Amino acid sequence: MTTRPDARAGARPAPREATPRWLTDEEQLAWRAYLHGARLLEVALDADLAAAGVSLPEYEILSMLSEAPGGRMRMSALADLVVQSRSRVTHTASRLEKQDLVVREPCPEDGRGVELVLTGPGRDLIEVLARLHIESVREHFVDLLTPEQFQQIGAAMKIVRDHGRRRQ
């Protein structure tokens, strides 16, 4: 909890010398709006893709592969790019493989790593899904904001992204 120190039973206490900088009421409202809005956005985007038989995590992987040179990417790099655990990417890749949308191949550079490769049917599907997805992104996010608000969110999230990358 971000406003009350006693809100979670069993929570580890902060070191005695550390005094948390609790959120102000205004910050708390903004934080909660962000969390709730981000979750609702993800649910809406996933639901729109589900109508086409694909989940949002599956779409992300297909999309990243479609933009990669040769439609292929090392699975570990793909996991980092879509911010998912390697095991989750492996499970998602298995589902996509069963649909003949991707195949796994040894990395040509070292033979130890595994690359995920977009197949012809995968490329055909991502071309259809990309149109559906961008309409969904516009409906549930971009078109709700002014261009200035959208740019401000992008600038703010770039800072968050860059901070997160430094911590990896």
Residues across the chain:
168
List the chain domain ranges: 49-133
What is the predicted pLDDT for the residue at 19?
Answer: 85
pLDDT tens across the length of the chain (168 residues): 554 554 555 556 555 558 899 999 999 999 999 999 999 999 999 999 999 999 999 999 999 999 999 999 999 899 988 888 889 999 999 999 999 999 999 988 877 789 999 999 999 999 999 999 999 999 999 999 999 999 999 999 999 989 988 876
User: How far apart (Å, rounded) are the C-alpha atoms in residues 67 and 30?
Assistant: 34
Q: Sign of dihedral through CA atoms 88, 101, 132, 148?
A: positive
What is the predicted pLDDT for the residue at 108?
Answer: 82
* CB atoms near residue 119 (< 10 Å): 17
- What lies within 8 Å, CB to CB, of 28 at 6+ separation is 2, 3
What's the Cα-to-Cα distance from 160 to each of 31, 113, 156, 163, rounded to whole Å?
14, 30, 7, 5
Supply the CATH classification number for the domain 49-133. Answer: 1.10.10.10
- What lies within 8 Å, CB to CB, of 113 at 6+ separation is 74, 75, 76, 106, 107
Name which of 83, 36, 74, 87 is nearest 56 in CA terms.
83
What is the predicted pLDDT for the residue at 18?
Answer: 80
